[in-house]
Structure 1
Amino acid sequence: MYRVTQPLASSEYSLTENVDPGNRFEITFTNGLTGAYNIVYETKAEQSPGNIVNTDQMIANAAQGTPPGGSTPITSTPTFTLRQQGAIKTVKDVDYSSPVNGKTITWQVVLNNDHKTITKGLLTDMANYIIDGQVTDCSVVDNGSDGNGNTLLGNDKYSYTNLPAGFKLELDASLFPTDHSFTITFKTPLKYTGQDPSLTTYKNTAFFEDGLGIYTSEAQVSLNKQTQQNGGKSGSYNAVTKQITWSIYTNYAKTGLQNARIDDPIPDDQVFVPGSTRIYFYSVAPDGGYTQLRELTPEEYGYFMISEPANPSGTDKTLTVRLPDAAPDAVKGVPVASSELPPLFLVQFDTTVEGTVVKKEYTNEADFYNDFTPKETLTSKVAVNNGGSLAYKNGYQGADGYAYWNVTINPSQSTLTDTKVVDVPSSNQSILMSSLTINGMQVDQSGKLTPDLGVTLVQGTDYDAAYTNVNGTWTLTVTLKGQYATIDRAYYMSYKAAIYVDPSNGSATQQITNTATITGNNGGSHSG
């Protein structure tokens, strides 16, 4: 790191410009070198009708220093990418809520960002995709000579013409010559068909003529995965019921439906809840999110074919839903309101993990078939708060000097039999068995657990506890029994321990530790 001091006086160096060969300058230090020097200067691109920066260019600038005594010169040549400033194209926004076949992309082009004096302004913008309708909401803002202006130009200051895959916009001659920059914003409706899976990136290219040259700038956007798959999937876990609600969103790209169906094979780690299938209308928000609307009426359900798994716990575990044919502006046989077009259908159902060892994560895949778009596999994963865990432990030292330990038994709320807690404290503490308590726990839908002091297990009836010396190590063993021989909820065990200071340890502070392991059975032994 350098510390920059006061600038040298002009008498301490000389500057010679336009040194041959090439466009160079030389600095000579009058009194020689006495330390490190930081030389700062600026260059700019020389632009004229025959020499403009209309593409990004890599430039280099070599500096050569000759030490006193005429020894070998030292050269450094840094590089820099010079970005053209004649036309700068960006994507401002994608609106996924547009109607039939629709997404709307908002583009922005900044012209003459380097404030050259220009004599004309003609912008031609072309797309690599089908523009459904005309370019809309076009506006032109005059940013002034410094780029900080914000003058919205009236329609009399520019004209534009729609082209099959773009448009032309020309600034009025009365604006020129000028060194102002301009910002042009416009929207293009995108007609997404989904028939070409390789077309996932949509690009617009701007060509700007300013009287000095032609500048090119492009920007591109990739539509979200739901558009590319013409559907989406999500899931949520309810820790109270131990059920997962899966949601399948169809016709997201608004292409229409023909011979459309959903096949959803339920994974082996879940069981389908019979009678849980329901269907809703839904809408797409501008940012691409989903909004669930009303459920189908009994009459409307008649146009859908729902085949639930015949044997949810056995081999027939596939849910199939056939959807009615639907054009973007109507549903065959279904008298839906115009406000519910184009028809977007949300299929929901539930699975349960009751009676199992609850995992950290669950997955569900559904195959979506539609003649208008290629087959897609819609996938979602659900994370379970506390899933995969049979024990959590924490502790602290109280003001009375005792260590207070808390063990959450079965925080995942798995179904376990013969549950046993083995707790091993470090040798510098001793558990006070009279302080041992086990309480129930309450859980909310998100899986957050809180002790329930209204439920207290009774030693000897609900559990056995023994504190024994095993090969020189004191161990607390708690075994659940009685009505708690099988558990499917979480429990909260707490106790305190006396701390003994080891006089042979010269440290001002000493560490205490505690290790708890919980084991139980469910189709095999599990521990955590």
Structure 2
Amino acid sequence: NAKKTMTITFPDGLDQGVKINYDSQVTSPINGSVDLNNSVESDNKTTTAGGSVDEEGLTKSLGAVDYNAKTVAWKLDINEGRQTMSDWVLNDTIPNGLTIDPSSFVLTDNDNKQILVQGTDYQITETNTGFKIEFLGALKTSAKDYYTLTYKTSFDTNEVPSNGTWTNSAKATWTDVNGDTHENSGSANFTPKVEFDNDGSKSGSYNATNKTITWTVVANYNQRTLTDATISDQIVGDQDYVSDSAKLNEATINSDGSYSLGAQVSSPDITFDSDSNTLTAKLPEGSTKAYVLTYETSL
């Protein structure tokens, strides 16, 4: 096609090497990905370069996770390829165990650096599987910028899928200037830390000087209301419980999922059954705190 051919001539010839750079632009919407090849001919020799270009209609990604507040943020990059879209509608599927925070939606026009107004520029409707978002007014007829939608969901690890990962997916439909319809999809995964999935953790550290092991058991990472809750730990193998070494502390869960040791529980209900070699700590009734039980064993 002659319209897609560029010819560069050097009327005075060349006595040194030259490097030529130029840009090209994909002129039609991409569904999925498209392979592009570009060849150049000089002195009866041809060289070809190529690659693939993915669609830039919709990209979904995971945002910040706050394990203390038990929230996770989601981000959707919309129309990064800057096509002119009409009747753009997106349906987002929220899996069980995630709950939308309706006040958290922010839709931004990145090209104009403008936060769009819900109810004026777009509307959000709750659906049986999540929510639907669509442009209003002039944007419904012609939306041609690069937009970003962010929002938050709370999460409940009691409902994490069996594979340990939530998948949050979205699908957008729109019409181009030629009247052709297009569909873009995107998804992102959230795998909570294993200690929150298990709602507990255990670790040990060995002191070679006095041949003791300090064990640390953390419970109620998810800060649920405790009812008849206990930590029971059976001591196995060639080790003995160090009498009266057990302590119970409150803990603060940090946003990154780590914990900070808090106040020691006064007069804790901790017992040791020598017949079964089991240490049991009863946790405060009705509390919503995380707790850390520490104790020592000797070899």
- TM-score range for the pair, normalised by the shorter chain length: 0.7 to 0.9
**C-alpha separation between the residues in 2 aligned to 1:204 and 1:223?**
14
What are the superposed Cα offsets for residues 311-366 of structure 1, whole Å, 9 maximum, x if unpaired?
xxxxx8x5432657xxxxxx7xx3x4xxx32x53321112468xxxxxxxxxxxxx
1:232 to 198, 201, 207: 201
- How well do the aligned residues superpose, as a CA RMSD in angstroms? 3.5
Contact 1:129 1:190 in 2 (8 A): no
Is 1:78 the counterpart of 2:23 in the alignment? no
Identical columns (%): 23
**C-alpha separation between the residues in 1 aligned to 2:88 and 2:281?**
55
Is 1:277 the counterpart of 2:258 in the alignment? no
Pair 1:222–1:161, CA change in 2 (3 A): same
Aligned-partner residue type, residue 256 of structure 2: D
Aligned equivalent of 1:107: 74
1:220 to 177, 189, 198: 189
**C-alpha separation between the residues in 1 aligned to 2:41 and 2:126?**
58
Contact 1:88 1:111 in 2 (8 A): yes
Aligned-partner residue type, residue 346 of structure 1: V
**C-alpha separation between the residues in 2 aligned to 1:74 and 1:309?**
85
Contact 2:100 2:152 in 1 (8 A): no
Aligned-partner residue type, residue 19 of structure 1: A
**What does 1:185-204 correspond to in 2, within 5 Å?**
185-193=150-158, 196=161, 198-204=162-168
**What does 1:22-33 correspond to in 2, within 5 Å?**
23-27=4-8, 29-30=10-11
Q: CA deviation at 1:247?
A: 1.9
SS state at 1:226 partner? helix
Aligned equivalent of 1:92: 63
Aligned equivalent of 1:158: 122
Pair 1:153–1:241, CA change in 2 (3 A): farther
**C-alpha separation between the residues in 1 aligned to 2:75 and 2:100?**
19
SS state at 1:228 partner? helix
Contact 2:196 2:222 in 1 (8 A): yes
Q: CA deviation at 1:275?
A: 1.0
**C-alpha separation between the residues in 2 aligned to 1:19 and 1:41?**
18
Pair 1:75–1:231, CA change in 2 (3 A): same
**If you compute each CA radius of gyration, which structure gives the higher value, 1 or 2?**
1
Q: CA deviation at 1:297?
A: 4.2
Contact 2:123 2:134 in 1 (8 A): yes
**C-alpha separation between the residues in 2 aligned to 1:125 and 1:114?**
20
Contact 1:127 1:202 in 2 (8 A): no
Aligned-partner residue type, residue 131 of structure 2: F
**C-alpha separation between the residues in 1 aligned to 2:128 and 2:192?**
22
**C-alpha separation between the residues in 1 aligned to 2:31 and 2:234?**
54
**C-alpha separation between the residues in 1 aligned to 2:160 and 2:42?**
66
**What does 1:345-384 correspond to in 2, within 5 Å?**
345-351=291-297
2:39 to 63, 70, 75: 63
Is 1:53 the counterpart of 2:24 in the alignment? no
What are the superposed Cα offsets for residues 108-129 of structure 1, whole Å, 9 maximum, x if unpaired?
2222223333334422211344
Aligned equivalent of 1:385: none
**What does 1:90-489 correspond to in 2, within 5 Å?**
90-98=61-69, 103-132=70-99, 135-143=102-110, 147=111, 149-151=113-115, 153-175=117-139, 176-193=141-158, 196=161, 198-212=162-176, 213-234=182-203, 245-253=214-222, 261-265=231-235, 268=238, 272-298=241-267, 301=269, 306-307=271-272, 318-321=277-280, 323=282, 334=285, 336=286, 340-341=287-288, 343-351=289-297
SS state at 1:61 partner? strand
Aligned equivalent of 1:470: none
Q: CA deviation at 1:107?
A: 0.8
The structure showing larger relative contact order (alpha-carbon pairs under 8 Å, at least 6 residues apart) is: 2
Q: CA deviation at 1:182?
A: 2.4
Q: CA deviation at 1:205?
A: 1.5
Contact 1:135 1:189 in 2 (8 A): no
Pair 1:34–1:61, CA change in 2 (3 A): farther
Equivalent residue pairs, number? 292
Q: CA deviation at 1:219?
A: 1.6
Aligned-partner residue type, residue 22 of structure 2: Y
Pair 1:261–1:194, CA change in 2 (3 A): farther
**C-alpha separation between the residues in 1 aligned to 2:191 and 2:168?**
12
Contact 1:88 1:110 in 2 (8 A): yes
Pair 1:166–1:261, CA change in 2 (3 A): same
**C-alpha separation between the residues in 1 aligned to 2:65 and 2:118?**
26
Q: Which stretches in structure 1 are left out of the alignment for 5+ residues?
A: 1-17, 311-315, 325-330, 354-528
Contact 1:194 1:228 in 2 (8 A): no
